[in-house]
Amino acid sequence: METTDTTSFIVAVSVADIRREPDPNSELVTQALMNVSAIAGENSGEWTHVQLSDYSGWIRSNELDLPIVRGVCDGDDGTCGVPLPYSAVVILPEAPVYADAEGDEKLLDLYLSTALPYINLTHPQRIRIALPGDAEGWITREAVELRSNSELYPLQDRAVVTGYAKAFLGVPYLWGGTSYRGIDCSGLVQLCYRMGGNIIPRDADQQYDFLKQSVDRQQMRAGDLIFFGSKSITHVGMALNSHEFIHAEGQDYNRVVINSFDPNHPQYHKRLDSIVWGIKRVRP
């Protein structure tokens, strides 16, 4: 992947690690899903510094590619590349992409919220999709929704947001993680709200500052975000009701779990109950 002629690229793998420094042992600051836009900056060895919509950091250069273009040609020497106005958006936590319309040969897995152009809709069970690098694959119809590129993540009921969060129960905690393969606390709430139609920042402290409506604990309801910390914000969870919350927890459980603020609840979490920084509502 050369970054000399252009700076606009996409992530070319299912999940790409974005690191603080151009070093595989450097901190994983976030991850980016396939077909996410990346503006390339400087190079360092096999690494490229990229600016994503919500973060910046270093990615392996071979995990970038030119944007996917699918369209029609006008005549023998016409211009190809008119982008299709719709994309296939992955609506399952994890979905395999197959090599053919029939059969079980798997090319890769895609993850919740990934959006890719589709090429062919005629097969009754699978949709033919475009992949980076002029590749193609097939994905089951139930794994995706076809949506306008102008509204890839339409506004949905709060129950959809919390439903996606609960679909991640048991997924391993991964600092910087953003997918079903491994996820962190702020990555989980950001992803679930993206699928519900709300774009919020990546990190917990950024989310707290971004959201304007504070909520008293007595008024907490499903979908509210609960921020934790003693001296600064260090954690975030999502309320499921007036006392339960779901979160990707990396200290006691190392996975996505449900806990409660009710001392009589079997999953009461005393430490987190004592360090609630604040509660914010994403939607009025």
> What are the DSSP calls for 175-241, one per residue?
TT-EETTEE-HHHHHHHHHHHTT----SSHHHHHHH--EE--GGG--TT-EEEE-SSS--EEEEESS
What is the model's pTM?
A: 0.93
For residues 29 and 141, membership in a common domain is answered with no
Host domain of residue 46: 8-65
Active site residues: 185, 235, 247
Whether 130 maps to a domain, the answer reads yes
The pLDDT of residue 278 is: 98
For residues 133 and 47, membership in a common domain is answered with no
* CATH number of residue 115's parent domain: 2.30.30.40
For residues 178 and 270, membership in a common domain is answered with yes
The pLDDT of residue 6 is: 62
* CATH number of residue 189's parent domain: 3.90.1720.10
> What pLDDT, in 10s, does the model give residues 247-267?
999 999 999 999 999 999 999
Give how many domains the chain has, as a whole number. Answer: 3
Question: What's the average pLDDT block by block, 10 residues per block, for the chain (284 residues)?
Answer: 68 98 98 98 97 97 92 42 79 98 97 94 94 94 96 98 98 98 98 98 98 97 98 98 98 97 98 98 93
For residues 239 and 263, membership in a common domain is answered with yes
> What pLDDT, in 10s, does the model give residues 117-172?
998 899 999 999 999 998 999 999 999 999 999 999 999 999 999 999 999 999 99
- Measured CA to CA in angstroms, residue 75 lies from 61, 68, 72, 112, 253 at distances of 35, 21, 9, 38, 60
For residues 194 and 119, membership in a common domain is answered with no
Whether 126 maps to a domain, the answer reads yes
Whether 80 maps to a domain, the answer reads no
For residues 130 and 175, membership in a common domain is answered with no
